[in-house]
Structure 1
Amino acid sequence: MKKILVPCDFSKPAINAFRLALDIAQQSKGTVHLLNVIELPVMHDTLLMPVLNFEQQLLNELKEKSIGEFEKLITKYNTNQVKIERAVEFGAVSQMIMDHAENESIDMIVMGSHGASGIREFFIGSNAEKVVRNATIPVLITKGNTKASITDIVFPNTLELENQEDLVMKVKALQNFFNAKLHILWINTPLNFTSDTITMERLKTFAKRFMLKDYEVHVFNHPDEEEGIIRFTQMIKGDLIAMATHGRKGIGHLMNGSLAEDVVNHTDRLIWTYKLKREEVEA
């Protein structure tokens, strides 16, 4: 967590993400990269191409305004003198975030989110949800947390022993960084019901296979998997939910959705996501 990207539109959720990133970077002795993305309007006579022929002076003024807002944030919140990098980009928000992360070799993206609900969630989703779906590096979403005081991490899992090596290694590193207890969780729903005795043995086998430490295993019965994860986390007063996302797109996303994205939209806890590699998704 040496290089942390914070997409910032200067809203309250973005400021919360910045403060959280500062806290993490102070612990890791890392750098926070602030990024403001300014979306260009779309021409009325075409929905395909953004207006690219703005007066350069106007673009410069918008950029200078963002840099000025950055300085206000840094002056107010960076009391521990964490190293800060600043950037302003023009384009589609979620794509520019991911491009910047790749270009700067970012380790983790920290984003604030209002969440999304109803028709907006179904057809559009939030920028945070889009980044969670497509980013190839870990994404940490906050709805209000500004301190990295994490003692309990909930890790919902499918309990597959194969094709999870990369994900589990990332979760172990996360647990080690925060010195937290890991709660390996299986949600028992009517559609995937298995007796608790069998599931507990599978949970223990999973933990042993990946040589996990300082952990507990849990079976939680609930009619709905997403709601079960959220309820369990509330019940044990967990601080963070760590989940894989499959990064589905197009009709696959529309039909199947993503459990991680749903939890991002509806939980009030910190949520850390990591996109499974294509071969892991297909396995």
Structure 2
Amino acid sequence: MKDILCATDLTPAADIALHFALQIADRSSSQVTLLHVVEEGDANGPDGLNHLGRLDDQVQRMNGTERVRKLLLEGHFMTRIAEESERGHALVVMGTHGPRGIRQTLFGADILKLVRRISQPTLVVQETTPTENAFDHIVMPVAGHADIDRLLEAVSMLARIHASEVHIYQLVRPNEEPSEQLIANRKRMMERLHEEHVRCVQVMEPSTHFSIGFAEPTIRYAERIGAGCIAMMSHASNDHRYIADAEKERLLTNDAGIPVLCS
């Protein structure tokens, strides 16, 4: 497997992100590129040495000395992360909270904007995400997109290296028929996961109250089964497009701190 790109702003949330990047790297026999973006002109001289020293400290805290390549870039962090994601990495991992840096911008809509710019699947964690997470269960809601293969590939990769069981989750609302695309995608998910020898189950959960939102029931289901990850398409499909962005933001910043895999 190609290496994993982990974006850091040197905050506690970034420690959590590096923890998961190293966990995945260990299980897939790969390496981690730890990226820190600073303002223009700050990468050289004393400031640059200070930033590199803090990167070293973070790597040592996480016992990742032998497996991490440190990368210091100048510019706007969203732009640099997106650009670096195109340079042959298999996965991007990043945290969403911290007193400065990424936290200043990455709340709600801005988190979603960044993962949509990143060219590779992205695992988003939070400062509150428990580090004791073996990804035993991955919840993958059925999406109405025409092309779900890249997300399926990322889910399959995580599931294979963690021996996870994938729950193909669909919320069933009264008097609402699923679209042909949803039906086709549910079938495609099952077929692909079987091809990859990944354990999977279909979950058709009746809606318990009237709501067109999907984030809350998905999060609560993931909590009930002790899921280590929720997988979602970062872009909106034609189904409920007008609420999709807000619902995806809720998933990314879910109050349970469950990691979210986006593509």
Alignment TM-score, normalising by the size of structure 1? 0.73
The number of residue pairs the alignment matches comes to 244
Q: Once the 2 structures are TM-superposed, how far is the Cα of residue 260 of structure 1 from its aligned partner?
A: 3.2
1:260-279 aligned at under 5 Å gives the runs: 260-267=248-255, 268-274=257-263
Q: Once the 2 structures are TM-superposed, how far is the Cα of residue 67 of structure 1 from its aligned partner?
A: 0.4
Q: 1:230 aligns with which of 210, 213, 219?
A: 219
Indicate if the aligned counterparts of 1:203 and 1:217 stay in contact, CA closer than 8 A: no
AA aligned to 1:4 is I
Give me the identity figure in percent: 22
1:1-283 aligned at under 5 Å gives the runs: 1-40=1-40, 59-78=44-63, 81-103=65-87, 105-114=88-97, 125=108, 128-143=111-126, 144-147=129-132, 149-158=134-143, 163-189=147-173, 193-194=176-177, 205-210=187-192, 212=194, 213-222=198-207, 223=211, 224-246=213-235, 257=245, 259-267=247-255, 268-274=257-263
Structure 2 alignment gaps of length 5 or more:
none
Q: Look at both structures and tell me which one has the larger radius of gyration over its CA atoms.
A: 1
Give, in whole Å, the separation in 1 of the partners of 2:92 and 2:68.
14
Give, in whole Å, the separation in 2 of the partners of 1:86 and 1:201.
44
Give, in whole Å, the separation in 2 of the partners of 1:166 and 1:216.
20
Deviations 1:194-232, CA, capped at 9 Å, x for gaps: 39xx9x987874455435341111122342211111111
Give, in whole Å, the separation in 2 of the partners of 1:123 and 1:65.
24
Q: Once the 2 structures are TM-superposed, how far is the Cα of residue 183 of structure 1 from its aligned partner?
A: 0.1
Give, in whole Å, the separation in 2 of the partners of 1:121 and 1:9.
10
Indicate if the aligned counterparts of 2:108 and 2:252 stay in contact, CA closer than 8 A: no
Change (3 A) 1:221 1:18: same
Give, in whole Å, the separation in 2 of the partners of 1:201 and 1:182.
17
Change (3 A) 1:247 1:31: farther
Q: Once the 2 structures are TM-superposed, how far is the Cα of residue 159 of structure 1 from its aligned partner?
A: 6.1
Alignment TM-score, normalising by the size of structure 2? 0.78
Indicate if the aligned counterparts of 1:22 and 1:82 stay in contact, CA closer than 8 A: no
Q: Once the 2 structures are TM-superposed, how far is the Cα of residue 74 of structure 1 from its aligned partner?
A: 2.2
Deviations 1:124-172, CA, capped at 9 Å, x for gaps: 7476433212111010111134355110000001367x63334323322
Question: After TM superposition, what 4+ stretches of structure 1 lie above 6 angstroms from structure 2?
Answer: 120-124, 200-204
Indicate if the aligned counterparts of 2:8 and 2:36 stay in contact, CA closer than 8 A: yes
Structure 1 alignment gaps of length 5 or more:
41-53, 275-283
AA aligned to 2:30 is G
Q: Once the 2 structures are TM-superposed, how far is the Cα of residue 110 of structure 1 from its aligned partner?
A: 0.7
Q: Once the 2 structures are TM-superposed, how far is the Cα of residue 255 of structure 1 from its aligned partner?
A: 7.6
AA aligned to 1:245 is S
AA aligned to 2:231 is A
